[in-house]
Amino acid sequence: MPTKTDVGIISYGAYLPRLLIKTEAIALANNSPNLGTCLGVNSKTVPDFDEDTATISVQAAFQAISRTKNFVKKNIQALFIGSESHPYVVKPTGTIVSAALGLGQRLAMADLQFACKAGTQALQICLSYVKSGMAKYGLAIGADTAQSCPGDALEYTAGAGGAAFIVGTKQPIVKLLATTSVATDTPDFWRRPKQNYPQHAGRFSGQPAYFYHSSYATRQILDQAGLSPADFDYCLFHTPNAKFPKAFAQEMGFTKKQMKYSLLVKKIGNLYAGSAMLGLANILDHAKNGDKILMVSYGSGSGSDAFVWQCAPGFDQGKKFYQNLVNQQIGKDFISYSHYRRLTKI
C-alpha cells in the first residue's frame, strides 16, 4: 500500500562506463538490419575489462556520499543492491561495496534480483528500513553490466551503468509521497543456471509483460495517491528501449514534456536494474523545488514498482551539487565491434 511519509532521498550518485558502441556497428557486424534504430537506441555503454556491478556500485555510491555535508558513512545501516549481473553467484556484491566505501559492520544487506526492477526494489527496502527505524540511513543501488547473446535483439540495447541513492528522514532533498508494487508469474525473459545469456519471448515481452504491469502499477498509485498525469512535472517509465516507454506514456496521458529527461536509453542503452535508477537521477539533475515525479520500473518475470516523489522546499538550495551529474558522464569513446566482443568475452 502507498504510504505518505517524511522519508526520502538525501543524496544520489551515478556512474556510466566511458566506452560506447553504436548500434549501427552491431548491425554491420551481424550483417542484419539495425534493430537499435527501430527501437530508438543509437548507441549503448560498454563496460571496460575492469568494470563490473561491484565497481559501478562503488563509484555511484561514493559519489552520493561525497555530495553530502558532514555525513557519517557508518550511519548507513542498510545496503541493498539490485542487479542481473552480480559478479558472484553466492558471495554478496554488498560485502565488496561496503568494504570499499568503509561502511560500518552494523549493516542489513542483501543482493537482489528481479530483472530490471531489482534496483527500485532495493530502494523500496531501504526506504522501509529507514521509515521503520531499523536503520538511520539506507543505501540503495541499481547497477548492471547487461549480457546479451551475439546477434540477438538484446545486443542492440543491453548497456552498463547504475545509480545509488542514500535515503533518510533528516532533511531529504526529495520526499517520498507514495510507493506501491505489483507482480505476476509472466515469464517473458529468463536465464537458467549455467546459461551465459538470457532468453526472451520476443513480442510476448510487450503487451502481457511490460505494458500490463506498468499500467497496473501506474493506475494503482495514481488512484491511491489521488493524482492524475497532469499533476506531475516529470514522469519516468522503465526503458528497455525508447519505443515502449514513449508508447506507454502516450497511452496513459503523459506528455513529451514530462518525459524530457527520462529517455537516456537512446544514448546509453538499457541498464537493466540501473535503468530507472539512473533515469531518476537525471530528472533530479534538472528538477526544482516542489516538482512532482512519477517513477515506474518494470522487471521481467514480471512486476513493477511505482513511486511518487516531490522535490523538497530546499532542493534548489543545493542545486550546484545536483546538476548535470548524469549527462556529463555520457562518454564519446566509441569502439569497434571487434573491441566490444573482446570486452564482452572477458
User: Which active-site residues does the annotation give?
Assistant: 84, 116, 238
- The residue written with cell numbers 537521477 in the block is 281
- Alpha-carbon distance 93 to 201, whole Å? 29
* Contact call for residues 297 and 304 (beta carbons, < 8 A): yes
- Alpha-carbon distance 130 to 127, whole Å? 5
| Phi, psi torsion values for 214, nearest 5 degrees | -65, -40
Q: Please give the distance of CA 142 from its chain centroid, rounded to a whole number.
A: 5
- What is the widest separation between alpha-carbon atoms in the chain? 56
* Contact call for residues 163 and 142 (beta carbons, < 8 A): yes
- Alpha-carbon distance 54 to 75, whole Å? 21
**Closest Cα to residue 165, out of 309, 303, 288, 330?**
309
Grid coordinates of 232? 506531475
Beta strands 8-15 and 174-186, pairing class = antiparallel
Q: Please give the distance of CA 256 from its chain centroid, rounded to a whole number.
A: 20
- Alpha-carbon distance 138 to 164, whole Å? 10
**Rounded to the nearest 10 degrees, what angle do helices 275-286 and 118-132 cross at?**
70
- Alpha-carbon distance 87 to 66, whole Å? 25
| Phi, psi torsion values for 96, nearest 5 degrees | -65, -45
